[in-house]
C-alpha cells in the first residue's frame, strides 16, 4: 500500500492532487439561551457568560441587588448553576482617630446576601443529509479480474460515503449478459472499457482516429437504448506489445512502427486468441508493416518471464499490467511500444448506467462516479493492479486507501 501512497504523492501520476471531500459546509450554530437578569450565551461548541462587576463584590444601597462581572466557558451541552451575589450595605460603625496625624478610619460592617440563578446552554448538532440518502439501492457489478474488483470497490466505497445504498455483484459475465441484466433492471452500474463497449455492445468495428470519436460512437448506441456512458478515465487498458527495456534501448524501439526497422528477425509471443484475431496481430502487422520471424503461442501471464529469459523478443501484454508499473525492479524492466495509429483501440474505463437510474439517483450519483474515474490514469491503474497482484492486498483495502489518499473519502471510512 505504501507504493500507492508514494504514487499519489506525485502529481504526474494523475489525480492525486485532488483534496477535500465532495461536500463541505460550516458547522451549524446552536441557538442563544438567555438567563433571567440579562445573562445569556451563544451555545457552542464554546459559550461564554458575562455580567458586571466581579462575582462576590456587592454594591449599591442597602437592600438593593448587587451586580458583578465574571466569565465561564462551557464546552458542549452543559447545565451551569450561577450564584449571583446581592450586597446590602450595613450600618456605619464608630469613628476613631488613629495616629498623631488624626487620620480618621471608617469601619463598615454589613451582611452579604446570596441569590441563586440557573442557566442551561444546549449545543445542538445538525447532521447534513447526504445526497444518496433515501435513494433506491444501486445494483453495481464488475467482472472477474483483479482490476475489475478494484474498480467495483472504488465506485462502491465512494458512493456509500455519499449516503447511497449499494449492493455489489462480482463476475457479472460477458457484455451481452451484463446488457441483459441492465434491461431487466437487476444491474444498474458496471465499469466497462470503451473499446469493449464499441465492439461487443455497439458493434462498431474498425479503427477510431481519436478517443472522442470512439466515445461518440459508443454514446450514440447507449442513447438509443436508454443507457448512459459516464465520463471515461484518462487511462486506457488495451492489448499491446512490449519488449525488455534493454532490447528497446539496443534497437531504439519506441513504437510499433519501429519493429519494421529491426535488422534481424524476432520472435513474437502471444496467446492464440490475439494471434488469429482479425483485430489483433494481423491488424497491427498490416498497419505498421512489420513481420515477425516467428510467432510463439504463450499463456497469458508467462510472457514477462519469456521476455526476460530471451525466448521471445516481443510479447503480448495488457497496457495496465502490473509488471509495467515497477521500473525499479532492474531484472524486469519492460517497455510498452506505443500505438500511434490506435489500431488496438481505446480501453478507457467507462462506467455504464441507464437513464432511469440517473433520474432516480440524482446528479450527485454521476458526479461521485466521475470524480473517481478522473483519477484513473494508465500508470495509476498499473499501481492499483500491482497492489493486488504483487503485494497481495485485498481489493477493497486498495480501493479505500486510494480514495482516502485522494480526498474522496475521509481517512477511516470505506468499511
Please give the Cα distance from 149 to 157 (Å, whole number). Answer: 12
- Cell digits of residue 60: 449599591
Neighbours of 102 (CB within 10 A): 7
Q: What percentage of the chain has pLDDT greater than the value 70?
A: 67
pLDDT score, position 5:
55
Residue 125 clears pLDDT 80, i.e. is over it: no
pLDDT, one tens digit per residue, over 263-300 is 999 999 999 999 887 779 999 999 999 999 999 999 99
Please give the Cα distance from 156 to 150 (Å, whole number). Answer: 10
Assign 68 a pLDDT band (cuts: 50, 70, 90): very low
Average pLDDT over residues 363-388: 97
Helix (H, G, I), strand (E, B) or coil at 309: helix
Average pLDDT over residues 83-106: 36
The mean-pLDDT minimum among 17-21, 49-53, 55-59, 267-271 falls in: 17-21
Average pLDDT over residues 233-257: 96
Residue 227 clears pLDDT 50, i.e. is over it: yes
Q: What is the DSSP letter of 364?
A: H
Please count the helices (runs of H) and the strands (runs of E) in the chain. Answer: 13, 18
Assign 1 a pLDDT band (cuts: 50, 70, 90): low
Q: 52 vs 358, which has greater pLDDT?
A: 358
Residue labelled with grid coordinates 524486469: 332
Residue 143 clears pLDDT 90, i.e. is over it: yes
For all residues of the chain together, what is the average pLDDT? 77
In 60-208, where does DSSP find H-type helix? Answer: 146-161, 175-184, 194-196
Q: 205 vs 402, which has greater pLDDT?
A: 402
Hey, which of 20-34, 65-79, 109-123, 354-368 has the most confident mean pLDDT? 354-368
DSSP per-residue letters across 194-224: HHHIIIIIS---S--SSHHHHHHHHHHHHHH
Average pLDDT over residues 190-215: 94
Closest CA to 320 of 304, 336, 309: 336
pLDDT score, position 327:
62
Task: Report the residue count for the chain.
Answer: 415
Average pLDDT over residues 88-103: 35
pLDDT score, position 332:
63
The mean-pLDDT minimum among 109-113, 184-188, 194-198, 383-387 falls in: 109-113
Assign 329 a pLDDT band (cuts: 50, 70, 90): low
- Cell digits of residue 193: 472499457
Q: What percentage of the chain has pLDDT greater than the value 90?
A: 61
pLDDT score, position 303:
94
Residue 132 clears pLDDT 90, i.e. is over it: yes
Helix (H, G, I), strand (E, B) or coil at 242: strand
Hey, which of 123-132, 169-178, 322-331, 387-396 has the most confident mean pLDDT? 387-396
Residue 6 clears pLDDT 80, i.e. is over it: no
- Cell digits of residue 30: 446552536
pLDDT score, position 328:
60
Assign 128 a pLDDT band (cuts: 50, 70, 90): confident
Structure pTM?
A: 0.71
pLDDT score, position 372:
98
Residue 79 clears pLDDT 50, i.e. is over it: no
Q: For residue 34, which phi and psi values (nearest 5 degrees)?
A: -95, 150
Average pLDDT over residues 294-318: 94
Helix (H, G, I), strand (E, B) or coil at 129: coil
b/e per residue 71-85 (b: at least 16 CB within 10 A)? ebebeeebebebebb
Assign 205 a pLDDT band (cuts: 50, 70, 90): confident
CB within 8 A of 280, min separation 6: which ones? Answer: 239, 270, 273, 274
pLDDT, one tens digit per residue, over 28-53 is 333 333 333 333 333 333 333 333 44
Residue labelled with grid coordinates 482479425: 278
pLDDT score, position 277:
76
pLDDT score, position 62:
39
CB within 8 A of 359, min separation 6: which ones? Answer: none
pLDDT, one tens digit per residue, over 376-397 is 999 999 999 999 999 999 999 9
pLDDT score, position 415:
58
Specify burial of residue 263 (Cβ count, 10 A radius: 0-12, 13-18, 19+).
Answer: exposed
Amino acid at each position: 500500500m505504501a507504493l500507492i501512497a508514494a504514487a499519489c504523492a506525485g502529481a504526474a501520476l494523475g489525480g492525486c492532487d485532488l483534496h477535500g471531500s465532495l461536500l463541505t459546509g460550516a458547522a451549524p450554530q446552536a441557538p442563544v439561551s438567555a438567563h433571567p437578569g440579562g445573562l445569556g450565551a451563544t451555545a457552542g461548541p464554546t459559550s461564554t457568560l458575562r455580567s458586571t462587576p466581579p462575582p462576590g463584590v456587592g454594591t449599591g444601597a442597602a437592600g438593593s441587588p448587587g451586580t458583578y462581572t465574571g466569565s465561564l466557558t462551557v464546552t458542549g451541552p452543559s447545565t451551569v448553576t450561577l450564584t449571583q451575589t446581592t450586597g446590602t450595605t450595613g450600618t456605619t460603625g464608630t469613628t476613631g482617630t488613629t495616629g498623631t496625624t488624626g487620620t480618621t478610619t471608617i469601619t463598615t460592617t454589613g451582611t452579604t446576601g446570596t441569590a441563586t440563578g440557573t442557566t442551561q446552554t444546549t449545543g445542538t448538532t445538525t447532521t447534513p443529509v447526504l445526497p444518496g440518502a433515501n435513494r433506491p439501492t444501486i445494483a453495481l457489478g464488475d467482472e472477474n479480474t483483479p482490476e475489475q474488483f478494484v474498480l467495483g470497490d472504488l465506485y462502491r466505497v465512494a458512493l456509500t460515503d455519499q449516503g447511497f445504498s449499494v449492493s455489489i455483484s462480482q463476475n457479472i459475465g460477458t457484455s451481452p449478459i451484463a446488457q441483459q441484466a441492465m434491461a431487466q433492471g437487476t444491474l444498474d452500474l458496471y465499469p466497462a472499457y470503451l473499446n469493449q463497449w464499441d465492439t461487443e455492445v455497439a458493434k462498431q468495428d474498425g479503427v477510431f482516429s481519436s478517443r472522442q470519436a470512439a466515445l461518440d460512437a459508443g454514446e450514440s448506441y447507449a442513447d438509443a437504448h436508454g443507457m448512459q456512458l459516464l465520463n471515461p478515465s484518462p487511462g486506457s487498458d488495451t492489448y499491446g506489445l512490449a519488449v525488455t527495456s534493454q532490447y528497446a534501448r539496443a534497437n531504439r524501439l519506441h513504437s510499433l512502427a519501429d519493429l519494421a526497422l529491426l535488422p534481424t528477425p524476432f520472435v513474437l509471443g502471444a496467446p492464440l486468441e490475439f494471434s488469429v484475431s482479425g483485430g489483433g496481430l494481423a491488424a497491427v502487422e498490416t498497419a505498421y508493416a512489420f513481420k515477425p520471424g516467428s510467432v510463439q503461442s504463450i499463456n497469458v501471464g508467462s510472457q514477462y518471464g519469456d521476455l526476460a529469459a530471451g525466448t521471445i523478443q516481443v510479447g503480448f501484454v495488457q497496457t495496465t499490467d502490473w509488471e509495467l508499473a515497477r521500473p525499479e525492479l532492474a531484472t524486469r524492466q519492460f517497455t510498452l511500444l506505443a500505438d500511434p495509429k490506435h489500431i488496438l483501440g481505446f480501453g478507457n474505463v467507462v462506467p455504464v448506467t441507464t437513464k432511469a437510474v440517473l433520474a432516480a439517483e440524482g446528479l450527485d450519483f454521476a458526479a461521485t462516479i466521475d470524480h473517481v474515474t478522473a483519477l484513473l490514469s494508465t500508470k495509476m491503474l498499473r499501481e492499483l493492479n500491482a497492489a493486488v497482484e504483487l503485494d497481495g492486498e485485498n481489493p477493497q483495502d486498495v480501493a479505500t486507501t486510494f480514495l482516502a489518499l485522494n480526498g474522496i473519502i475521509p481517512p477511516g471510512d470505506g468499511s
